[in-house]
Copies of this chain bind each other. A is one copy, B any other.
Amino acid sequence: MVSIKDVAKAAGVSVTTVSRVMNNRGYIGKETRKKVENAMRELDYQPNQIARALLKNQSFVIGIIVPDLSHPLFSELINWIEAYASEKDYKLLVCNSLQNAEKETNYISMLRKNRVDGIIMCSHNLDVEEYRNVAMPIVSFDRILSSTIPYVASDNYRGGEVATNHLIEKGCNKLLHISGPLDYELLPNRRSDAFQLTCMKSGIDCKIIQGAHVKATFEDNWNFIDREIASHLTDYDGIFCSNDFMAYTLYVYASKKGIKVPEQLKIIGYDYHSFTRMLRNPSLTTIKQPLDRIGKRLSSLLINQIEDNDLDRNNTVFDVELIQGDTT
């Protein structure tokens, strides 16, 4: 590959001068600049960013770890993160933890070895201390890792509250909530807290069943419903699902069993990612997380940290929005 030396030789100047032309530093003669620029063009010179990164100790790469690359929630998030990051000249190294703790550890270590400038953690399979030891700018999506690691999330509590109240307002008396796994202390668990408290406040019968997994296929969800919910499905007149896939599967299941939605059973989901936006038969009532803002915020928060400018570095919680669909 052609290096700065080749350019220097071709232009008849020193490498210093070439570097100065590239970076617009110091004084450069008009003639010299032209000679150098011509040489660069003729040789199709591509400055080696790796060398630069080594010297400056800054790679302009940020790593992102997600639990499932093919999940619309995360692919959309990555989409927005990339959009903002690339504006600021950062590139994205994507890692797919597959919800596997060992893989996640390995990815973190890999990112450290590769001297990325920072990490966006969207996958959470480790204990919080492990993230604290990373010693590198981090931001987190949907989980509090430590007081020094900013997080971004939608207002999960409010989302759960809005969803629950919506069902109640629509006349539901007996509510079920299908939550995600509640074992780790994740912010989406607040949806379930809100569900419970809101029901209590309104004096409404309610129940929570765990079972909405990120990586679940339609069949996984279907089987879960068949196993855990089916027998007392008619006991409920409103169900709040912690994600849209589960909500959609539940709709299909109920329909197939002859239960009319929304007349007999009302269903509300959570997320409103690309899948849900495309869905029209029926369209799903759901709670929208503003993935565009979340993604941009994750990037900007991380980049602020990296560049150590004293702009905003606070945890950010975005408003959610009720999307009225056909299922309530």
Name A's B-contacting residues (CB within 8 A).
1, 44, 46-51, 53-54, 57, 59, 61, 68-72, 74-76, 78-79, 82-83, 86, 91-96, 109-110, 112-115, 133, 217-218, 245, 248-249, 251-252, 255, 274-275, 277-278, 280-282
Contact = CB atoms under 8 A, between A and B. Distances in A.
A115 B110 CA distance: 18
A91 B91 contact: no
Contacts of A251: 281
B115 A48 contact: yes
A96 B82 contact: yes
B72 A70 contact: yes
A218 B280 CA distance: 9
Given A48-B54, A92-B93, 15 more contacts: A44-B133, A47-B113, A49-B113, A61-B93, A69-B79, A69-B82, A70-B79, A70-B274, A71-B75, A72-B72, A72-B274, A74-B75, A91-B95, A217-B277, A281-B282
A277 B96 contact: no
A94 B94 contact: yes
A51 to B, nearest CB: 6
A59 B50 contact: yes
A213 to B, nearest CB: 14
Contacts of A248: 278
Contacts of A275: 72, 274-275, 278
A257 to B, nearest CB: 13
B72 A91 contact: no
A43 B126 CA distance: 22
Contact of A75 (B70, B133, B245): B70
A238 to B, nearest CB: 20
Contact of A114 (B50, B94, B281): B50
A29 to B, nearest CB: 26
